């Protein structure tokens, strides 16, 4: 049992503490305080030193870059993300459906990706958009693809002296986009399954197509191989390629529980997205 707890007030201080003690950051508490709870009237017990970083102002806020990318700093809450028009649609949608009101006021994007739960809401659309994680340590910065940063269920590539500073979402052009989360109920729900898709159609040809599945395996699933099936194809050929895409996607996902439901629903949603996209007359969000 380790009882050490630090409350740094600046990023520099936090990085010092991190390096010296390996204390892990605790921000909103919405994951860690549950994971290490002991019950009513008992203080949670963590197996490692903790630093409460919620008062570090440098870790807050959303910023739009000149290149069209969006930088979301680690302590930004789902409420703030959901209400920021600079943030791409599927990420905003995912944020707006995370937990319930109080959780959306407390949870943080840094925590959601750092905790790397297969049921986490934000990694799925972020990975769709090839978002990167900006990591800071006293030795400097490191920026890695979120898809590479999350190694598996509850596992990340975070080093002992690093802190998640921000998530950067590059500018991604698309003509049609889709986001769905199927939760345990209509609100205040944990994800049973989620799917994001986007497609870019230019001059009658598909120039980009992506999909990502949440809660359908130990980590968020992308399949570049399957995505490649449609890239560069003429729009009128897409329909005939749908079965191949669906089969490829079905091989990519590996749902553990409720496999039949997760596979069939993912298949239906993906097919729906593609059929709606090819028949849509203009850019739009597919529902």
Cα dihedral across residues 64, 67, 68, 69: positive or negative: negative
| Contact call for residue 102 and other proteins (CB under 8 A) | yes
- In the list 13, 19, 44, 231, the residue contacting other proteins (rule: CB under 8 A) is 44
Query: 87 to each of 83, 197, 262, 273, 279, how far by Cα in Å?
Result: 9, 16, 28, 21, 27
Residue 47 binds other proteins (CB under 8 A):
no
DSSP 186-239: SSS--EEEEEEEEEEEETTEEEEEEEEEESSSSS-B--HHHHHTTTT-BHHHHH
State the number of CA atoms in the 13 A half-sphere of 224 facing the CB: 4
Taking contact as CB under 8 A, which single stretch among the options 10-18, 30-38, 58-66, 202-210 is the one that binds other proteins? 30-38
Smallest gap from residue 67 Cβ to other proteins (A): 33
Residues 244 and 60: their CA atoms lie apart, in Å, by: 43
Min separation Cβ 183 and other proteins, Å: 9
81, 126, 269, 274: residue in contact with other proteins (rule CB under 8 A): 269
- For other proteins, give the closer residue by CB, 102 or 145: 102
72 or 269: CB nearest other proteins: 269
Binding to other proteins (CB under 8 A) within 146-205 occurs at: 180, 182, 184-190, 192-193
> Residues interacting with other proteins, by CB under 8 A?
3, 5, 7, 26-30, 33-34, 37-44, 46, 50, 52, 54-55, 79, 99-103, 105-106, 180, 182, 184-190, 192-193, 258, 260-262, 264-265, 268-269, 272
């Amino acid at each position: 049992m380790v009882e050490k707890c630090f409350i740094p007030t600046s990023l520099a201080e936090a990085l010092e503490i991190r390096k010296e003690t390996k204390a892990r950051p605790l921000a909103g508490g919405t994951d860690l305080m549950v994971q290490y709870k002991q019950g009513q009237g008992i203080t949670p017990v963590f197996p490692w030193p903790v630093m409460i970083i919620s008062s570090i102002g440098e870790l807050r806020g959303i910023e739009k870059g000149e290149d069209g990318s969006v930088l979301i700093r680690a302590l930004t809450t789902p409420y703030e993300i959901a209400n920021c028009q600079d943030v791409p649609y599927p990420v905003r949608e995912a944020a707006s459906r995370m937990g319930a009101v109080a959780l959306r006021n407390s949870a943080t994007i840094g925590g959601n990706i750092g905790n790397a739960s297969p049921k986490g809401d934000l990694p799925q659309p972020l990975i769709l958009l090839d978002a990167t994680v900006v990591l800071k340590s006293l030795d400097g910065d490191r920026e890695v693809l979120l898809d590479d940063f999350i190694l598996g269920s509850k596992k990340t590539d975070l080093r002992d002296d690093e802190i998640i500073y921000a998530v950067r979402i590059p500018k991604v052009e698309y003509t049609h986009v889709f986001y769905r989360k199927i939760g345990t109920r209509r609100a205040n729900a944990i994800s049973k399954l989620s799917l994001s898709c986007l497609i870019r159609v230019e001059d009658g040809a598909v120039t980009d197509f992506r999909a990502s599945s949440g809660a359908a395996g130990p980590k968020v699933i992308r399949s570049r191989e399957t995505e490649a099936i449609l890239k560069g194809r003429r729009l009128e050929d897409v329909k005939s390629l749908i079965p191949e895409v669906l089969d490829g996607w079905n091989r990519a996902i590996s749902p553990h529980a409720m496999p039949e439901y997760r596979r069939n629903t993912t298949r239906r949603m993906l097919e729906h997205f593609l059929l709606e996209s090819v028949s849509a007359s203009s850019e739009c969000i597919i529902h």
